[in-house]
């Protein structure tokens, strides 16, 4: 079992740096697969990280159309829907689906998102990616972090699909390029698994987990691992001889994913600050 206070840092950046040394010392996190939340619909939610990593990655690469079409909207609805429903949030019907409607305090909710995003590394990206969910997030740091993690996961899945398409359409790549792309796809696949695990942990926290410090530490560890994999993927494209178009396309997507993940890590870390300052 992981010590409850292992790898804890006051800021997401210090935490991410310290995580690398923890990873190098083979720190293991005991994770009960039976507790994973069924709200994450893509992949097998009852399997642990290390058993599903390869099979999930293969599924995400070989079914691009399904992932591209369903991942962004329905992952976020699956995450936010039950919580918003329980909070009796106003809804409207359109095309047979129940949609969120904006409450009277939308301006206040949007300002909450803007203020929270100001403490992240990429505040403009943070606000642009989260502001449309302000009516559901309201003024909840936990829902804000939950939504940010979902957006990072959706972006990572889309990047994985795009790289699979690039690999399939560039059969004439040189061995060095093909190896770099393959390594990057593996790293991004790992990042997908780690973000899924972080959302599973976040779901437990959202449902009244009492040991919040331990749970948040666990979430930080998974998100930091995902960020490390994104960075490793981009490092593999430092090959100067690589085709410029392929290199730019892949690095651009993964860089955006890394920024979303970094913002999510900052917002997760902010939960601890909010709770510690509460009366």
CATH of residue 107's domain is 1.20.140.40
pLDDT band at residue 237 using 50, 70 and 90 as cut-offs: confident
Query: Which pairs count as long-range contacts for 116-119, CB under 8 Å and 24+ apart, including other chains?
Result: 116/141, 116/144, 116/267, 116/270, 117/263, 119/266, 119/270
Q: Which domain holds residue 137?
A: 39-89+101-277
The torsion angles phi and psi of 90, rounded to 5 degrees, stand at -60, 140
Establish if 2 belongs to a structural domain: no
Establish if 155 belongs to a structural domain: yes
Q: Is 92 helix (H, G, I), strand (E, B) or coil?
A: strand
Q: Which residue has the tokens 């005991």?
A: 30
The domain tally of the chain equals 1
Write out pLDDT tens, residues 185-211: 999 999 999 999 999 999 888 676 678
Percent of the chain surpassing pLDDT 70: 56
Average pLDDT over residues 216-224: 96
Q: Is the per-residue pLDDT at 94 higher than 70?
A: no
Establish if 16 belongs to a structural domain: no
Nearest Cα to Cα of residue 120 among 237, 279, 265, 6:
265
Nearest Cα to Cα of residue 274 among 147, 169, 144:
144
Establish if 157 belongs to a structural domain: yes
Establish if 200 belongs to a structural domain: yes
Write out pLDDT tens, residues 99-153: 344 444 568 899 999 999 999 999 999 999 999 999 999 999 999 999 999 999 9
Q: Is 170 helix (H, G, I), strand (E, B) or coil?
A: coil
Reading phi first (left if > 0) and then psi (alpha if -120 to 50, else beta), residue 7 is in left
Establish if 6 belongs to a structural domain: no
Q: Distance (Å, rounded) from C-alpha 99 to C-alpha 101?
A: 6
Residue with the bigger pLDDT between 80 and 255: it is: 255
Residue 240: predicted pLDDT = 54
Establish if 206 belongs to a structural domain: yes
Establish if 257 belongs to a structural domain: yes
Residue with the bigger pLDDT between 115 and 64: it is: 115
Specify the pTM.
0.64
Residue 26: predicted pLDDT = 37
């Amino acid at each position: 079992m992981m010590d409850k206070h292992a790898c804890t840092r006051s800021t997401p950046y210090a935490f991410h740096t310290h995580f690398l040394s923890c990873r190098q010392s083979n720190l293991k996190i005991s994770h009960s697969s039976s507790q994973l939340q069924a709200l994450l619909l893509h992949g097998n939610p009852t399997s642990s990280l290390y058993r599903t990593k390869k099979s999930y990655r293969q599924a995400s690469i070989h079914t691009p159309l399904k992932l591209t079409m369903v991942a962004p909207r329905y992952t976020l609805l699956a995450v936010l829907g039950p919580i918003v429903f329980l909070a009796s949030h106003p809804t409207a019907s359109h095309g047979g689906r129940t949609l969120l409607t904006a409450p009277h305090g939308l301006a206040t909710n949007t300002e909450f998102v803007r203020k929270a995003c100001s403490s992240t590394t990429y505040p403009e990206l943070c606000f642009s990616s989260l502001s449309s969910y302000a009516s559901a997030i309201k003024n909840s740091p936990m829902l804000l972090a939950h939504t940010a993690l979902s957006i990072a996961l959706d972006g990572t899945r889309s990047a994985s699909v795009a790289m699979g398409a690039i690999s399939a359409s560039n059969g004439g790549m040189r061995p060095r390029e093909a190896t770099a792309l393959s390594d990057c796809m593996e790293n991004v696949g790992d990042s997908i698994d780690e973000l899924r695990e972080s959302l599973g942990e976040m779901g437990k926290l959202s449902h009244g987990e009492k040991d919040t410090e331990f749970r948040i530490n666990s979430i930080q560890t998974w998100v930091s691992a995902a960020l490390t994999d994104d960075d490793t993927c981009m490092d593999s494209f430092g090959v100067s001889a690589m085709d410029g178009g392929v290199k730019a396309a892949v690095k651009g997507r993964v860089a955006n994913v890394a920024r979303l993940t970094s913002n999510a890590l900052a917002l997760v870390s902010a939960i601890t600050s909010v709770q510690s300052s509460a009366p």
